């Protein structure tokens, strides 16, 4: 009986040991925090660094008026306007109008304030003198569009080779101008003829040109025709750069005989590389009435679409090759057929474009 009691006691004692978690036996013990021996008094004071006493942060001041601890008579007047609406009910949409320059009635950002024009026109003259400032004003005027320059542009100087057995010929088209950015004198000339034959057309124009915008000039002057027959015209035209970089040159001509004609030219430079440029070009002529002595009928008289490929050896020197279709239209074509002439044809062109 004694043995049974001893055996039962041993089993009860072994049960807690079997329930213990032995998974942490293979892990390293956690590092103990470093002890501050100076704070605990283990080291003498001379071996410890001096203590740095931190000032306690000030406690925030309590606004007893805002919390209602004091009666209104003992509180200073509030800076807030009593008419102000609560924050939740404020209209924040008006804030944008305060800084929005596009708001109705607001001045443009580049507007000149009135006080800027109250002083003398040349305020520096009062300090340095008019004579001392005159060279600076002259230089400033030149650098801001007042410079006078000139250019000669040979737009087309080409030989035309007929592909349908017709006559080979030549064409020139050039202009020169001298002046500033606003006012210029422009000289234009163009014409054509046949190799070994007579000169068919030749003209020269002397024009006054004035800029009417950033990209267009209004031109007016006279035109003198040498061939066919001597004839003088008054000229009013427009020349410039249209949207999409299209160069336009159009003019109305009123002859000393009362004949009204017009001509429009358009061309576009399409860069293939920095030096290789493809240029589509079209020219059209118009007449308000029949001009028998010039074999011209009323309406659209001629149209000349073409395509030229030029290579700029230099920016100022560019040979080219191309092809052009020439056609007389309407009554002008009928007059050409009546005179046993072909009203249209295709020609290969080789030429030069240059400017200096």
Strands (E), the chain: 149-162, 169-179, 183-194, 199-211, 216-227, 231-242, 246-255, 260-268, 270-271, 276-287, 299-311, 317-328, 344-355
Give the residue among 215, 283, 292, 290 at the shortest CA–CA distance from 251.
283
Q: 207: how many CB neighbours lie within 10 A of its CB?
A: 23
- Where in the sequence is the domain holding 168, given as residue range(s)? 149-355
105 in a structural domain: no
Give the residue among 335, 238, 331, 327 at the shortest CA–CA distance from 288.
331
Q: What is the CATH number of the domain that holds 185?
A: 2.40.160.40
DSSP for residue 339: T
343 in a structural domain: yes
pLDDT of residue 69: 62
* pTM of the entire predicted model: 0.62
282 in a structural domain: yes
User: What domain count does the chain have?
Assistant: 1
Give the residue among 345, 333, 271 at the shortest CA–CA distance from 298.
333
175 in a structural domain: yes
Residue found under tokens 């470093």: 34
293 in a structural domain: yes
pLDDT in tens, the chain (356 residues): 445 444 445 454 444 444 444 444 444 444 444 556 666 666 666 667 666 555 555 555 666 666 666 666 666 655 444 444 444 444 444 444 444 455 566 666 667 777 777 777 778 888 888 888 888 887 777 666 667 899 999 999 999 999 887 789 999 999 999 998 899 999 999 999 999 888 999 999 999 999 999 999 999 999 999 988 889 999 999 999 999 999 999 999 999 999 999 999 999 999 999 999 999 999 999 999 999 999 999 999 999 999 999 999 999 999 999 999 999 999 999 999 998 889 999 999 999 999 99
215 in a structural domain: yes
Residues 6+ positions from 232 with CB-CB distance below 8 Å: 222, 223, 224, 225, 255, 256
pLDDT of residue 35: 55
214 in a structural domain: yes
How far from 241 is each of 178, 213, 236, 250, CA to CA, in Å? 19, 10, 17, 12
**d(C-alpha 248, C-alpha 283), whole Å:** 10
DSSP for residue 60: P
pLDDT of residue 178: 96
Give the residue among 339, 317, 343 at the shortest CA–CA distance from 328.
343
Residue found under tokens 């031109």: 219
Q: Are 343 and 327 in contact (CB under 8 A)?
A: yes
31 in a structural domain: no
Tokens of 124: 């520096």
Q: Are 328 and 301 in contact (CB under 8 A)?
A: yes
């Amino acid at each position: 009986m004694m043995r049974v009691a001893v055996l039962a006691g041993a089993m009860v004692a072994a049960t807690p040991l079997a329930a213990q978690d032995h998974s942490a036996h293979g892990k390293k013990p956690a590092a103990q925090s470093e002890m501050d021996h100076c704070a605990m008094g283990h080291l003498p004071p001379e071996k410890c660094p001096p203590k740095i006493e931190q000032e306690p942060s000030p406690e925030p001041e309590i606004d007893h008026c805002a919390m209602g601890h004091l009666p209104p008579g003992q509180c200073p007047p509030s800076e807030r306007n009593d008419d102000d609406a609560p924050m939740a009910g404020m209209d924040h949409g008006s804030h944008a109008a305060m800084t929005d320059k596009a708001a109705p009635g607001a001045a443009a950002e580049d507007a000149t304030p009135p006080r800027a024009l109250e002083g003398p026109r040349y305020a520096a003259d009062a300090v340095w003198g008019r004579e001392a400032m005159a060279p600076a004003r002259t230089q400033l005027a030149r650098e801001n569009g007042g410079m006078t320059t000139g250019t000669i542009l040979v737009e087309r100087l080409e030989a035309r080779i007929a592909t349908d057995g017709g006559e080979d010929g030549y064409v020139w088209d050039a202009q020169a101008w001298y002046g500033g950015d606003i006012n210029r004198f422009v000289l234009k000339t163009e014409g054509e003829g046949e190799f070994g034959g007579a000169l068919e057309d030749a003209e020269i124009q002397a024009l006054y040109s004035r800029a009417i915008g950033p990209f267009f000039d209004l031109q007016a002057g006279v035109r003198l025709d040498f061939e066919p027959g001597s004839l003088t015209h008054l000229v009013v035209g427009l020349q410039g750069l249209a949207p999409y970089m299209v160069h336009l040159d159009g003019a109305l001509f009123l002859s000393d005989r009362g004949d009204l004609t017009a001509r429009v030219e358009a061309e576009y430079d399409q860069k293939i590389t920095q030096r290789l440029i493809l240029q589509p070009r079209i020219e059209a002529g118009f007449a308000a009435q029949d001009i028998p002595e010039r074999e011209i009928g009323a309406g659209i008289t001629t149209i000349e679409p073409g395509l030229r490929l030029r290579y700029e050896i230099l920016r100022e020197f560019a040979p080219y090759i191309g092809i052009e279709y020439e056609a007389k239209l309407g009554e002008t074509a009928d007059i050409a057929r009546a005179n046993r002439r072909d009203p249209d044809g295709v020609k290969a062109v080789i030429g030069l474009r240059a400017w200096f």
